[in-house]
Amino acid sequence: MANWFLGETPTRVMGSGSICFWKDGREVYDNVACVYDYPKGVKVIYDSVISNRKYGLEEQIMGHLGTIEPEVRKIYSENPPPAPGFLQLINNLEKDIFETIPIGGASWVPETAVQYKGEYLVEDYQYDDTLLEMEGFVLAVRNGRPYPGLLREGYNATVAVLLGLQAMQENRIIEWPEEYAWKKNTELV
């Protein structure tokens, strides 16, 4: 998803993986953490822990302005709207009272999760990603033309996953090999 969202492929990847929970003879890691470096300093962190279902399967696109959670159709601003007047007054008073906590230095204040509930990206959303993919496939079949970019996106996603696996297995940073780059003139679909 990051390749598609950013319109680029990673330049390198580092990762760690292990079998920590499902010790039943499997060879596929049940805990995975990879960091993909993209051009212009963008970092994408992929992690998966299949022994815990609290958050299920979801993506979070996080940046300095906020977070987008596509599966729940929500966006969370880093600068949420201010609380109603009276509540904001109480929060300001409490902030002044509890500003200094004597752990870790005179100005240290614990950073806790924001309680802001976010805004919906789309109010009346009726599709899921599987349905959208199926619609794209059906349109390609009906029109007799491949879906634009599908092969390129699939190829780049596969290479990114395989390089992440290699980084985990070899415990080193893997550069995206130049020979793996999708050539502009090979736009078959």
Amino acid identity for residue 2 in this structure: A
Q: Would you say how long the chain is, in residues? A: 189
Q: Can you give the pTM of this predicted structure?
A: 0.69
- Tens of pLDDT along 45-60? 999 888 777 777 778 8
Q: How much is the average pLDDT of 21-29? A: 89
Pairing of strands 174-175, 12-18: antiparallel
Residue 109 has which token pair?
């204040």
What pLDDT band is residue 189 in, cutting at 50, 70 and 90? very low
* Rounded Cα distance, 111 and 102, in Å: 15
Q: How much is the average pLDDT of 87-108? A: 60
| Helix/strand/coil for 7 | coil
- Tens of pLDDT along 157-182? 999 999 999 999 999 999 999 999 98
* Rounded Cα distance, 60 and 69, in Å: 5
Residue 185 carries which DSSP code? G
Q: In what order do the strands lie in the sheet with 12-18?
A: 43-49, 31-37, 12-18, 174-175
* Rounded Cα distance, 134 and 128, in Å: 10
Pairing of strands 12-18, 43-49: unpaired
Would you say the C-alpha torsion 119, 121, 122, 125 has a positive or negative sign? negative
